[in-house]
Chains A and B, each alone.
Chain A
Amino acid sequence: MSVARQARRRWLGPLGFAAGATAAGAALAVNLTIADFVPGNSWSVGYGVAATALLLLAAGYGARRRMMRTASRWRGGSASGWLALHLWGGGLFLVLVLMHSGFRLPSGQVTGWLWVLSWWTVLSGLVGRLLQRWIPRLLASGLSTEVLYERIPELVADLRERAARAVDGAHESVVALWERRLADELAAPRRRALYFVDITGGAARRLKPFRYLQRLLAEDDRERLAELERLYRAKLEIDAQYTLQSALRWWLYLHVPTSIVLLALLAVHLYAVWAY
């Protein structure tokens, strides 16, 4: 696909959302002009049907991700197209849900939870989208090492092993530094909220003891200390990767399970509307 075509496609989502939101706004204006704006009337049912269709389409993105082979065999659109539909269609879904409910929290239990979960799902999706845009840039901006999330425990173990080897037979002050501070730090990958605001994780402050100790050691121990510092610095970077990549993975727990519950509640709601 050409770059120009890709650029054009990038606008399809926002344009579709703008067109849908304009259509919804126009429908609302006509509704307010010629009829009541109350849940339950035919206008409101229309908004509800449109919202349901959009939610199902948005949920189709998740299904497609789990059926890549089938999707590619059926040629059911590109992944980016489905993602755009998921994002912008999800936004429009919330607009239609609000119109369906008359911009009020419904008083029924199922309908009330549907309303709350609609907000939650769309807002958590928005948070996820922002994280996906921001974290890769943050990772690329201040880190020299790029690691796969799944390999982090293995790499941390490797660093710890090499650090332990480096302090073997070193000066007692180096050993003390290892035992009191670094052994625990290198024991396992560690998440720190600090990385969201300082990608170095306060490295300058943490590495101060190395600067201080370096002046007191003999040449041989100074090299061991330098190796230890390099490994610790690598660990800090891996921790940054671990923290930020965890955020990229864990926001899904805020979004996906609630989306599934939302779909189940929608099914209950549709049953209630159909049956009663």
Chain B
Amino acid sequence: MAKRRRSGLKGSFGEPRLPVARSYPPQASRRRMVVLGAAVAAVVVAAVAWDRLAGGSELISGGPLSSSHAVFAGDCGHCHDARSRSASDRQCAVCHEKAGDGLGIHTFAAHYLYRSDDFRRVVPSEHETPCSGCHGEHRGRDAAITRVDSGACRACHFADFGAGHPEFDFAAEAIPDSGALRFPHTHHLREVMKREQLADPERACLYCHQATADGRNFQPLDFDRHCDACHLDAATATPGLPLAGATDGPGVLDLEQLAADGGPGLRWVYFSNPAELRRRGSLVVKAPVHHRDPWVLENLRRLRRRLYPDAGLADLLRVSADAPPHAVRELYLEAVATLEEQAEGLRGRPEPEVQQQLAAIRQLVAEARRRIEQPLAPLDETSFLLALDRRDPALPAAEAAAIERLGGELTEPCRRCHLVRDLTIVRVETDQRQLRRAEFDHRAHVVQRRCLDCHDVIPMRQFLESGEPVPAELDRSEIQNLPTIATCRECHEPRQAADRCVTCHRFHPDRGQRAELLPYTREAP
């Protein structure tokens, strides 16, 4: 014991008799690694702080800017507000709402009005998010910042496409298609298949529904392209029509009478074939009848003027003013074109006063066209409609009936396909797009589904196979032969085909379709 005390040992342990410690051995401090970590962390934070103070952005940036904004890399102030440091809408607007444009298409107001034409919707909402809320940046050069998550839309709209998306208007409100044409689809499909020797009805669909260059939609319907091959051949003729002056009642004017009567827009008279008008006593027959036949339309216009002397702007239209709200500009442009054509007819007149008037007219027409083409010009179709409501009260009923009867006979070849109302051929909606608030890409769909898989409201397949005639109530032009939203949902659902809002809808108005921007640029009433 005494020896152990002298040596300071408390004893030994293990087979090699290792000395037991004299005191509890202090554990090695682990502070070093904490200090090491803290030092590296301090360097990192200092580097970031230095980078920020020096105006850099590389370190703190969430990642490279998208390709569209790549030129602004390193210039944070180009997008980020100096005070709030966030990418402010005002900075976005500098480039995206070009000065002087005046449309403000990236504003929420524009979004509320786009294709709705409802100014009551323009109420600032607490849900309005900044541009960066939807178009997240700093996600790499190849990031698609316009591919917006539907969550951004759900703040105001329904839950998602699968549940809560309203039915399409035409289906929900049973809105019929334009009935301006008498057009049974199945009959035409059969005729095209027979004529073109097509075995596949889908090919027959595409015979008339010809795709636009981008394949998204179809070209407007056109008589010359789609109908001329079968309709209005050389044998098409009007019935015998009483010639004006030859009978007591109303009559039509032949070419000589029209030339003698004069008036604007009659240059075509001098280029028309007189042999197409055959006299049969006091009657005249027009054969053949052409599409948009100027003789028929001019006589129809003259008959209409007798019924509606104050037709106003409607008199400048070739057909009725039944245009959907998005196509009102077309009415104005057609009216201006008529005025230009009529003014052109006066160019050959040598009288100085006529030439003076012509110069003034042309100036006015040019000004009118310029105003109409202004995207902010307020336009409505009422200028074309109201005048037709006022019949000449002085016109005896019997004479009015005779005029209407003559108008009916004059347009007899037209009425085989067209509707005629108020001595006016009802305008055919040549633009076949029905979805006004959404975009539909036919090319993307037609590779996977057949036309009649979706367009099955008119039972064309069934009647094509059976060969039976289709009852008129099942196949009329008024029937919207379009699928409902349930058909879309067969494929567009989570984990299948895309079902995000921006798959079909545009949040911002399309700059490329300026005519459609008009509704939201009008002044609030």
A residues neighboring B (CB under 8 Å): 32-36, 38-43, 66, 106-111, 144-151, 154-155, 158-159, 230-231, 233-234, 249, 252-253, 256-261, 263-265, 267-268, 271-272, 275-276
Q: What are 10 A-B interface contacts by the 8 Å CB criterion?
A: A40-B139, A66-B34, A107-B62, A107-B63, A108-B61, A144-B14, A252-B33, A260-B38, A264-B45, A267-B45
Q: Which 4 A-B residue pairs are closest in the complex by CB-CB distance? A: A260-B37, A257-B37, A107-B63, A264-B41
- CB of A143 to closest CB in B, whole Å: 10
Given known contacts A35-B150, A230-B16, A150 and B86 CB-to-CB distance under 8 angstroms: no
- CB of B150 to closest CB in A, whole Å: 6
Give A259 to B139 CA distance when docked, in angstroms.
26
Residues of B within 8 A of A147 (CB): 18
**A268–B63 contact, CB under 8 A?**
no
**B25–A148 contact, CB under 8 A?**
yes
Tell yes or no: B260 within 8 A of A by CB.
Answer: no
Given known contacts A107-B140, A272-B60, A150 and B26 CB-to-CB distance under 8 angstroms: yes
Given known contacts A40-B139, A109-B61, A234 and B41 CB-to-CB distance under 8 angstroms: no
Question: Which B119-169 residues have a C-beta within 8 angstroms of A?
Answer: 136, 138-140, 149-151, 159-160
- CB of A9 to closest CB in B, whole Å: 26
Residues of B within 8 A of A259 (CB): 37
Given known contacts A35-B149, A231-B16, A261-B40, A276 and B80 CB-to-CB distance under 8 angstroms: yes
Tell yes or no: B495 within 8 A of A by CB.
Answer: yes
Tell yes or no: B44 within 8 A of A by CB.
Answer: yes
Give A231 to B15 CA distance when docked, in angstroms.
9
Given known contacts A145-B18, A268-B45, A276 and B85 CB-to-CB distance under 8 angstroms: yes
Residues of A within 8 A of B37 (CB): 256-261
- CB of B108 to closest CB in A, whole Å: 19
Instruction: Report how many residues on chain B are interfacial, defined by Cβ distance under 8 Å.
Output: 46
Given known contacts A32-B494, A35-B149, A260-B37, A158 and B60 CB-to-CB distance under 8 angstroms: no
Given known contacts A32-B494, A110-B48, A256 and B58 CB-to-CB distance under 8 angstroms: no
Given known contacts A257-B37, A260-B37, A261-B37, A36 and B151 CB-to-CB distance under 8 angstroms: yes
Given known contacts A33-B494, A258-B37, A109 and B16 CB-to-CB distance under 8 angstroms: no
Per-position binary interface string of chain B over residues 1-35, scored 1 when its CB falls under 8 Å from any chain A CB and 0 otherwise: 00000000000011110110100011110100110
Residues of B within 8 A of A233 (CB): 16
B residues neighboring A (CB under 8 Å): 13-16, 18-19, 21, 25-28, 30, 33-34, 36-38, 40-42, 44-45, 48, 58-64, 80, 85-87, 136, 138-140, 149-151, 159-160, 494-495, 500
**B59–A261 contact, CB under 8 A?**
no
- CB of B141 to closest CB in A, whole Å: 8
- CB of A140 to closest CB in B, whole Å: 14
**A249–B28 contact, CB under 8 A?**
yes
- Residue in B40, B48, B61, B150 whose beta carbon sits within 8 Å of that of A257 in the complex: B40
**B18–A40 contact, CB under 8 A?**
no
Give A257 to B14 CA distance when docked, in angstroms.
37
Residues of B within 8 A of A35 (CB): 149-151
Residues of A within 8 A of B64 (CB): 107
- CB of B39 to closest CB in A, whole Å: 8
Complex: chain B residue closest to A113, CB-CB: B44
- Residue in A36, A258, A272 whose beta carbon sits within 8 Å of that of B150 in the complex: A36
**B58–A109 contact, CB under 8 A?**
yes
Give A41 to B40 CA distance when docked, in angstroms.
31
Residues of A within 8 A of B495 (CB): 32-33
Max chain A CB contacts within 10 Å: which of B19, B38, B48? B48
- CB of A39 to closest CB in B, whole Å: 7
**A150–B28 contact, CB under 8 A?**
yes
Complex: chain B residue closest to A109, CB-CB: B59
Give A258 to B36 CA distance when docked, in angstroms.
9
Give A249 to B29 CA distance when docked, in angstroms.
11
Residues of B within 8 A of A40 (CB): 136, 139
Give A106 to B58 CA distance when docked, in angstroms.
14
**A268–B44 contact, CB under 8 A?**
yes
Give A42 to B150 CA distance when docked, in angstroms.
11
**A268–B60 contact, CB under 8 A?**
yes
Give A111 to B15 CA distance when docked, in angstroms.
56
Complex: chain A residue closest to B494, CB-CB: A33
Residues of A within 8 A of B16 (CB): 145, 159, 230-231, 233-234
Give A123 to B263 CA distance when docked, in angstroms.
93
Residues of A within 8 A of B44 (CB): 261, 264-265, 268
Given A32-B495, A35-B151, A256-B30, 15 extra CB contacts under 8 A: A41-B136, A41-B149, A43-B151, A107-B64, A148-B21, A150-B27, A155-B18, A234-B14, A252-B30, A257-B37, A272-B60, A275-B85, A275-B86, A276-B60, A276-B85
Give A41 to B139 CA distance when docked, in angstroms.
12
Complex: chain B residue closest to A235, CB-CB: B16
Give A147 to B34 CA distance when docked, in angstroms.
26
- Residue in A107, A149, A234, A260 whose beta carbon sits within 8 Å of that of B34 in the complex: A260
Residues of A within 8 A of B27 (CB): 150
**B41–A261 contact, CB under 8 A?**
yes
**A34–B494 contact, CB under 8 A?**
yes
